[in-house]
Structure 1
Amino acid sequence: MELVLFGWRCEHDDMPVGCIKGPPKVHMLSQQDILEGRNLSVTCKATPGNPSLTTFYWTKVDIQGFRQNGATLHIPNIQRNSSGTYRCTAENSYNPPVVNTLFQQDIIEGRDLSVNCTATPGNPSSTAFYWTKVDNSGFRQNGPTLQLLNIQRNSSRTYICIAENMYSNGNKGTDNQSMVVNVIYQPAIENRQLQIVNESETVILTRNISGNPVSNVSWFNKTELLKTETSVTTTSFFIERPTCSDTQNFTLVASNGVGSNATAVVELIVNYGTNISYRFHDKGENELHAAHISNLQPLVTYWFVVSAKNSYGSSPSEITRCKTVQEKASSKTGMVVGSVGGALVLITIVLILGIVHRRFTCICKIALENKDRNMYDALTSTENANQYEDILKKDLKDDKFVTQNTEEYANTSFME
């Protein structure tokens, strides 16, 4: 096996970029005779040029793709087909480091991310590292290791590792590699108010699903599976001709293999009954406004809601819920809300006028009448329900609704 001396030269009239005055001079190498199966190790030396920083690499004359970086040629367990001419090359030109390939990082939200960047040194070999972020010019982490503690979903971005070496002439050699950070997190279902439709109107129940990766979803009616979808960010359930029996709470479940499944109740009310509206005359700020509602039924829950509007917008109140109780046939005494013949419920509203919206409270009161008919016990005021602006009447005894035409409203209620 023949080892050939090779020195890189600078010509005075046609000097390569980075070569200053003189190249290094490689010392003489002698032929290496070695037994097959043994390990070969030969170190190449050179007298430094100007600049004095020197890099070495080895090539093989008859194999174009062969290259070993560094001053020492290593060939372990050498075989007969390794015989040939090897060339040691010494250079004192400047060259940048070469950053090694980086791979995408998938990490669960809330965990700590640590990624180390490495590079093949250039000339000079001293290398500085730092990290940047593609869409954030203010982001910089010095050093070869990127650390993101308690990582959140908004940290999903492309990060860049940059390696630099400083040349003695004041210039820099640089190289970089990009890396995608993908933060994965469990699904969440959009929260919406209950949906109210009239009977026979097409119903579209829609929810947006967040999560990474995208989620698989299932719709249930109690334990009955109604529909499944895979890899979605929005899901919808259709009912073409709903009836009052479709008034119920559906269950929506979303899963993406990260953390716990997300579950939401999707409420639907199918209106087979009355829309009752009352319009109030605006008496001004902090004034009482009242509406009288007659013909309330026993064993019925009523919801009352007030909406105020001005030229800047509108605002609804929270819904106040009141329920009548069982009729007592022996009752011949005082008249209370709930009597079929015309007992009244007095809705007292305090409108507090604002520049943009009106804010108000809604108070249920009981009005008494004195008529010759059977009486019912008083309504009892209970918790608030979700907000919406139609009056619906639903008799709990037979699940039927009663229809009544009325005029446009400023206060609304519904019952079930």
Structure 2
Amino acid sequence: MGRLLGGLALAGQLLSVPLATAAESIHAAFAQGALAGQVGLYGISGKARDEERQGFISGRASLAYQTAPWQHLSLGLGAWGTTRLHETRDGDYRETVASDALIHLAYLHFAGGDRGELTAGRHQVEQEWLTDHIVGVSARLIPLDNLELSFGWAQRQAVVDLDEVSEGFAKMNEDNGLYFGAAHYSPLAWLTLMPYYYHAADLYRAPGMKLTGAWGVGQHLEAATMIQYVRSNTPAGQEDGDFWWLEQTFAYQDFGFGGGYMRAHPRAGSNIAEFGDQTPFEYGDNIFAADAQTWYLAWEYGRDALSLSALYGHTRYAAGTERPRTKELNLIAGYGWNQHLELELIYAAVRNSSVSVADFNSLSMALTYSF
């Protein structure tokens, strides 16, 4: 469940501190630092077929501080706290919130002006196949106006969000970590090519390519196309896998609509999503299973403070000699009273043709005040 990205917004507020605010001394760097925070309320209620309803309500608060740049360097620290307010059944809260308090940010940030940046320590990343918070290094270089390079290494990972908090930063790939790199090249104003490579020793080596294009169709209609392919090469004795993803969307005034298609390897599926993905579903069950084929349709509307969206997807995958189906519907409504206070509601319904996998529904709510 990756829609409720309160932590990403908080980190973004701090990393957007301009280089023009550079301090003249270490003391001034701390004195002129930026502080951002959030307080919020989160609740979820869900029910699987033939099972009892489950869910919880929690309150949380987070603070993040970053010094002003001194000699291009900044220090960042952040803490996240969550408390249980109510749970439907004993243990519902702890199933997804494994820790009530966590130091989720502790990093050094080097700002290189308009030529790039580097962050080392505990920080948040949003890569194609690596998300959430990591312990590691990530860098962004801009050698040319139409070329951006991003790369890094992650040793540990933690999920820190409104709907889920890890017990701590867990080892990635048995402490071997994950290396990643990508190039964003725009040969034309409307086209971006992104070759990338992910390497997790003894788990997979994954080269991939993503193409995105955006252009106008007539006076008011805008179109965006995305084509992506990634190959997951696994150690000897295991099946290699690959993954295709095609998406076409359109925007007309306040409305957006479109759809997409995903295809996993017929024999092995793909383990590329081991450390995160960017798929649009709230749950996205079986998308990366062997021989999985997924299509989806999406619609959205946004005007002023109100946003509405709907997503429906259908996945058919291999399970022994059978090919069961998973269907998922997401309905999302958001409203922002101002730049500080936001409310989001998410309804999700998942239906499975296999009798061994239960259907379920969930409704979640997130109320967040940022400062």
More strand by share: 2
* TM-score over 0.5 for the pair: no
Q: TM-score range by the shorter chain?
A: under 0.3
Decide which structure has the larger Cα Rg and report it: 1
* TM-score of the superposed pair, with normalisation by structure 2: 0.21
* TM-score of the superposed pair, with normalisation by structure 1: 0.19
More helix by share: 2
